[in-house]
Structure 1
Amino acid sequence: MDWLREHPEVRTIRVAAADLNGVARGKRIPARFASKVFSEGTRFPFSVMNLDIWGEDIEDSPLVFETGDCDGLLMPTERGFMPMPWLEAPTALLPIWMFHMDGRPYEGDPRQALARVVGRYKAAGLTPVVATELEFFLIDDSGTKLRVPPSPRSGKRRTGGEILSLRALDAFDGFFTALYEACESMDIPADTAISEAGPGQFEINLVHQSDALRAADDTWLFKMLVKGLARRHGFAASFMAKPYDIWSGNGMHTHFSILDAQGNNIFNDGSPEGSDRLRHAVAGCLAALPGSTLIFAPHENSYDRLVPHAHAPTGIGWAYENRTAALRIPSSGPVARRIEHRVAGGDVNPYLMIAAILGAALNGIEDALPAPAPIIGNAYEQGLPQLPATWEGAIDTFATCPHVARIFPPEIIENFLMTKRQELHYMAELSDAEQTELYLDTV
C-alpha cells in the first residue's frame, strides 16, 4: 500500500492474473478500496483461468456447471502495485494469482504451475537463473492488409527487414524512448533493443535474474506494456508467431543456467563444453520437446512459424553456438555457461513456457540422462527427429507425454487440453484474415 500512498494521483487500479493463454483477466477497482484487495484478495470463478482465446467458457468443463462455477481466491503476488503507463489516466496494476479458499494453490493457475517447478529446484538446493528475449512487430492494422506503420520521424514505411539497423530503431525513437521509461517505472529489466529480420520487427532482451517467477512476471508484463503503449502511439504491436506469410515470425528465446546452494553455476566445469549436468539438462529438454511443443506453439498460427529454413527450429537437436538448433549453447565465459531454448514463439504464456523448460531440464538432471552428440552445421539438413508439425498433432502428443505429466499437475494438463481442443474446433470456421485479427492483439 505504500506505493499507492506515494501516488495519490492514482484513482483506479486493475487487478489481473494470467489465464492459460497468458491473457490478462481481472477487474477495475477504485483506488480507495485497494487496501481490502491487498489484504483480503478478490474472487474470480476458477473457470476464468481456463477461458479460450475468445474469452469464452470451455464447453463441458467441470469448472463451470458441474461445480456451480464456484469462486477461487486471488491474492496479490510479491510484485505489488505498479503504474500502467499506456493508459491516459494515472492507474495502478496489481498482479494476482489464484488459490483455493483454504489457502491451497490452485493448480490450474499457470503462475502456480511455475511456482511448483521452482519448488522442485529449491528442494534440490538449486536456483534457476532465467532471461527471455522477446520479438515483436510494430504494425499498422488500420487497413485491409497489415503494413509497417509510417515512421513518426520521416512519414515513410519500410518495406523490408533491416537486421541490426540503427535507422530502423531510430525511425521509432519516440516509441522506444517511452517504452524504456515505462519499463523503468514498472521495474521491468529491459536491456538491449535491436531491429530484426522482418519489416517493423524488433527484439528486446530482459536481463538474467535468479527468480524464475519474477522473470516470467516481467515477460508477461512486458508483452502487456508493449501492446498497450503501441496503441497509444497510433499503431499495433504484436507477438503473434507469424503475422506475415513471407517474413520470419516472432520467437521468444529463453536463456537459463542453474546455481547450486553456494551460488556456483552447475553448468560450468571450467571446460568450453560445460559440465555433465549441462548435458543432462539438454537431454531432459530434448526428451520433453515433442510433448511440450503445444506449450511453445499454443495456437494455430504458431505452426506457420515452425517450418524449415525460416529461422525457427523444427528438429530435435542441440549444438554449440548454432542458431539453427532447438537448443543452443552460446559462446560465453565458463561462469556464464547457459542453455538457450529457441523453440517458443512470441505468442506463448511465459509462465507455462518457463515451467516447461525448467521442469524438463530438472527431469534430465535428476535422471542423469545422456545427451546425444551435438550437431554441427545446418540443423534443417541433419535428418533429426521432428517437432509436431501441426496444432492437432501437438495437442495429441501433449496429452500422452510422460515428461509433461512429470512437470505439470493433472488439472492444468486437462484444462489446457480442453482449451486447445475447443479452439481447434472453432478456429476451422475462421478465414485467415479473421484468425489474424483474433491473434494480433490477444497473444
Structure 2
Amino acid sequence: MHDWLVDNPEIRAIRVAAADLNGVARGKRMPVRFADKVTRDGTRFPMSVLNLDIWGEDIEDSPLVMESGDRDGVLRPTERGFVPMPWLNTPTGLLPIWMYHEDGRPFMGDPRHALADVQRRFADRGLTPVVAVELEFFLIDDAGARLRVPPSPRSGKRRMAGEILSMRTLDAFDDFFTELYDACEAMDIPADTAISESGLGQFEINLVHQPDALKAADDAWLFKMLVKGLARKHGFAASFMAKPYPDYAGNGLHMHFSVLDAEGRNIFDDGTEAGSDVLRHAIQGCLAAMPGSMLVFAPHANSYARLVPGAHAPTGIAWAYENRTAAIRVPSGPAQARRIEHRLAGGDVNPYLSVAAVLGAALSGIEDAQDPPAPITGNAYAQDLPQVPGTWEEAIAAFETSPDIARIFDAELIRNMLMTKRQELRDMAELSAEEQVEIYLDTV
C-alpha cells in the first residue's frame, strides 16, 4: 500500500471508506501524510455507522447505538489497497476498509464480512465461485423539476427514447465512456462491454469473471461510486436506482457465476448443453431462497416499481435455458463455460449482500442435492408461477422468517437489516414518489 503512494506522488489526500448495509460508502478524509498510520493501525468509527438508514440516520433502538454506548469498531484495510478517485479535482487515493471488533473478530454486521463468510464456506469444500456482474445505470439531467435525458455533448439534442444497442447513443457520450474506461483501468475494475439499453439514457457495462467473489463485489461497489462521481464531473447524474422513470424498464444487476473444484474444473459442466446435476442443485438452492432473499435483491421502496410483468425484470420463481424472462437463466455457449445467470437483483442493491445471497443460496442447494422443477419454456410472465414478494412489507417479513436466509447470513446482520428496513419503510411512507426519487437518485 505504501508502494502505491510512492508510485503516485501527486496524491494529496486520502479517503478511507467501508460499505454500510445499503452499500453507501461511509468513511473519512485525511491528509496523505497520515497514510502510513491508517495502513498500519487502521482507523475507528462507531459500529452503528455500518447500520445507518438511507438518510444516514441512526437506527432507533438499535443495540449498536445507545445500548452499547455507541462503541467503536476497528476498521482495517482490505486486500484491495489504495485506488485513485479520478472524479475528484484533488488527486486522492481511496483505501477500502472493513470492520472488526477490538479483539480482532470480524464484525458480522459488515456486509463485506458476510460475503467473505460465504466464500470461506465454499473454500472449506474445495470450491471456488467464479463471479461476474452486469450493471445497468441511467445518465440523467436532474437539474430541473423533472428527470430528463442529458443533452448529447456532441449535438446538444436530447434523445427521448430508449435505444437498445444503439451505436449513436454510445457515440453521443463517447467522452464520458472513454474517461470511464480509463478510470476503470486505473482502479483495476475489469470493465468489458458497454451497450445502450431500453430505458431513457440507460446503459449497461459488464465486469469480467473473477475467481474471487470478494474482488467481484469490490469491483461492483467501486464501479457504482466511480460512475456516479464521474457523471457529476461531466455535468449530469448517473443513477443505479431501480426505477427512475415509471414508463421505462428499470436497472438490474445481473450476476453470472460458475464454480470450480480444487483441480480448476467447472462443476456445472458435464460436457452437455444441459449441464451437470450440481448445476441443477445450485439452481434449486437459488429458487428456494428467492422469497427470503427479496429484501436483499429489492432493498428499497422504489425497488418494487421495477418488478412488474413484461418490464425485463423477473417476477416468477422459475429457471430456464437461454430465456431472459426467467429469474434464473442458464446461458448457451461452450460446455466448459456452463454457468448460472441470476437476474432478480436491481441496480440499487448492495453488491456484497447480493453476491452473498446468490452464492449462499447456491451452496445450500449444492449441500442439499435437491433437483429443481423442470425448466420453463416461453414467456415466464404468461405462466402460472410462484411469485417473489411483490411489496417491501412482504419482503421484510419473508427475510425475517426464511430458514434459507438464516443459513446464509449471520444473525446480527439479519437483525440489523430488519431494523434498518422497518425504519425506512415507516419514514418513506410519508414521502411522495418525487421525494423518494430525490433520495434514491444519487444514494443507491
The answer to whether residue 380 in structure 2 is matched with residue 383 in structure 1 is no
Give the Cα separation in 2 of the matches to 1:237 and 1:430.
22
- In structure 1, the partner of 2:427 is 426
- In structure 1, the partner of 2:91 is 90
Amino acid at match of 2:231: A
- In structure 2, the partner of 1:399 is 400
Pairwise CA RMSD of aligned residues? 0.4
- In structure 2, the partner of 1:9 is 10
Secondary structure, in 3 states, of the residue corresponding to 2:121? helix
1:56-135 equivalence runs, <5 A: 56-135=57-136
- In structure 2, the partner of 1:220 is 221
- In structure 1, the partner of 2:138 is 137
Amino acid at match of 1:374: P
1:124-273 equivalence runs, <5 A: 124-273=125-274
- In structure 1, the partner of 2:334 is 333
Give the Cα separation in 2 of the matches to 1:48 and 1:365.
35
Secondary structure, in 3 states, of the residue corresponding to 1:73? strand
| Distance apart, 1:410 and its partner CA | 0.0
- In structure 1, the partner of 2:42 is 41
Amino acid at match of 1:170: D
Aligned-pair identity in percent equals: 74
Secondary structure, in 3 states, of the residue corresponding to 2:73? strand
Q: Deviations over 1:383-442 (max 9, x none)?
A: 000000000100001000000000000000000000000000000111111100000000
Give the Cα separation in 1 of the matches to 2:161 and 2:266.
41
Secondary structure, in 3 states, of the residue corresponding to 2:170? helix
Give the Cα separation in 2 of the matches to 1:378 and 1:294.
25
Q: Deviations over 1:265-288 (max 9, x none)?
A: 000000110000000000000000
- Runs of 4 or more, structure 1, over 6 Å off, are none
The answer to whether residue 54 in structure 2 is matched with residue 25 in structure 1 is no
Give the Cα separation in 1 of the matches to 2:246 and 2:83.
37
Give the Cα separation in 2 of the matches to 1:210 and 1:286.
23
- In structure 2, the partner of 1:354 is 355
- In structure 2, the partner of 1:324 is 325
Give the Cα separation in 1 of the matches to 2:228 and 2:370.
40
Q: Deviations over 1:272-331 (max 9, x none)?
A: 100000000000000000000000000000000001111100000000000000000001
Gaps of 5+ in 1: none
Amino acid at match of 1:5: V
- In structure 2, the partner of 1:367 is 368
- In structure 2, the partner of 1:290 is 291
Give the Cα separation in 2 of the matches to 1:199 and 1:65.
45
The answer to whether residue 431 in structure 2 is matched with residue 439 in structure 1 is no
Q: Deviations over 1:117-166 (max 9, x none)?
A: 00000000000000000000000000000000000000000000000000
Secondary structure, in 3 states, of the residue corresponding to 1:66? helix
| Distance apart, 1:211 and its partner CA | 0.4
Secondary structure, in 3 states, of the residue corresponding to 1:417? helix
Give the Cα separation in 2 of the matches to 1:389 and 1:310.
14
| Distance apart, 1:363 and its partner CA | 0.1
| Distance apart, 1:57 and its partner CA | 0.1
The normalised TM-score by structure 1 is 1.00
Give the Cα separation in 1 of the matches to 2:401 and 2:251.
28
| Distance apart, 1:17 and its partner CA | 0.2
| Distance apart, 1:382 and its partner CA | 1.4
Amino acid at match of 1:282: I
Amino acid at match of 2:186: S
Give the Cα separation in 2 of the matches to 1:26 and 1:352.
19
Give the Cα separation in 2 of the matches to 1:332 and 1:297.
30
Amino acid at match of 1:121: F
Give the Cα separation in 2 of the matches to 1:382 and 1:354.
28
Secondary structure, in 3 states, of the residue corresponding to 2:438? helix
Secondary structure, in 3 states, of the residue corresponding to 2:68? coil
Amino acid at match of 1:186: M
Secondary structure, in 3 states, of the residue corresponding to 2:371? coil
Give the Cα separation in 1 of the matches to 2:102 and 2:9.
32
Q: Deviations over 1:2-53 (max 9, x none)?
A: 0011111111100000000000000001100010000100001000000000
Secondary structure, in 3 states, of the residue corresponding to 1:118? helix
Secondary structure, in 3 states, of the residue corresponding to 2:67? coil
Give the Cα separation in 2 of the matches to 1:370 and 1:269.
16
| Distance apart, 1:369 and its partner CA | 1.3
- In structure 1, the partner of 2:55 is 54
| Distance apart, 1:241 and its partner CA | 0.1
Amino acid at match of 1:171: A
| Distance apart, 1:229 and its partner CA | 0.1
Give the Cα separation in 2 of the matches to 1:97 and 1:404.
22
Amino acid at match of 2:170: L
